[in-house]
Amino acid sequence: MQQPHFWFQKNSLLSHLLLPLSGIWLLGTAIRKRFYTRKTVEKPVISIGNVNIGGTGKTPLAITLIQKLRDKGHNPHIVSRGYGGKLQGPIQVNEKEHSVLDVGDEALLLSTFGPTWVARDRYMGAVSAINEGASIVILDDGHQNLTLEPTLSIIVVDAVRGFGNKRVIPSGPLRESLSQALTRVDLVVAVGTETQVERLQNHFGKDYDLPVIPARLTLLESGLSLDNQNVVAFAGIGDPSKFRTTLNELGTNIIRYVPLDDHEIPNESFLLRLEREARKSNALLVTTEKDAVRLNPEWKKKVLTVPVRLELNDWDLFDTYFQNKVKGFH
């Protein structure tokens, strides 16, 4: 679903009316936690998650971390819940054999960058990864997982939207209360400009003494210039407006932009309609990497993928926390 506007507004009447349901959500979350105990594994686990529902940049950060850790001689494996897929796991994703319907779009995308496991039970997924040679486990969307204890816990926050109205689903965007969520955090990665990140720090930094690393989404260099290029675009990610912003920053002329629900698989008639519109306007049909993995092989040839990466402004700070956390592991 697309996130409602009132989640990011102050004093919304609808948000107030939904507060009793948020109480039920919190109660259900508390009951679930009583039935689980987080276990540890013999290798370091880096959890990448968020407090808000929807996308904040977790997957781009996971991709960047895979590459950084590999450059340092590590063998990172990713463990994902496989949201949207039918397989329970633990099973290693094979991009040639598995589809989005099997393992979900995020796991399928991540598998193109490194060994990726789908496991509803993250602990068992981590054990499987380690048995197959993982020296570090990257836990995708792991902040609310109930079975695996992370060594280093990172949350990704949109510096513009922050934590919205700071209320829990459905009266706000939070998966759990902010106070509970932040007690389990080691590092905050805030995506935005320096001014936006500073504003976010001032907003919640008084109550929570957490290190914040500014980060920005950047286009992966491919040699293709989109400046002044007509585009027809679609995106089914946590915050579809982010992709529109990226296209604007690249200098494209957006003929039409269609936001889809998060993880939505576009049907054939929808794609044909957009293709006709793109042809009439002499435009490219473009989408995100995550959306592209949901397309069949024929449509993948027709739709241009615009890949982005999340770049941290201070890798030294990340390395400091990482080394301090993993120094007891071998």
E strands present in 114-207: 116-118, 136-140, 152-158, 187-191
Query: What pLDDT does 21 receive?
Result: 92
Neighbour-count burial for 227-245, b at 16+ CB within 10 Å, e otherwise: eebebbbbbbbbbbebbbe
Q: Give mean pLDDT, residues 282-290.
A: 91
| CA 56/CA 191 separation, integer angstroms | 8
Token pair of 138 as six digits: 């990257």
Question: pTM (2 decimals)?
Answer: 0.87
Ramachandran class of 141: left when φ > 0, alpha when ψ lies in -120 to 50, beta otherwise:
left
Residue 69: what pLDDT?
92
Summarize the confidence of residues 49-73 as an average pLDDT: 88
| Tens-place pLDDT, residues 187-235 | 999 988 888 888 887 776 566 778 889 998 887 776 677 888 899 999 9
Beta strands 308-312 and 304-305 are: unpaired
Cβ-Cβ contacts under 8 Å for 132 (sequence gap 6 or more): 77, 92, 115
The domains of the chain, with CATH numbers, are 45-217+311-325 (3.40.50.300), 230-306 (3.40.50)
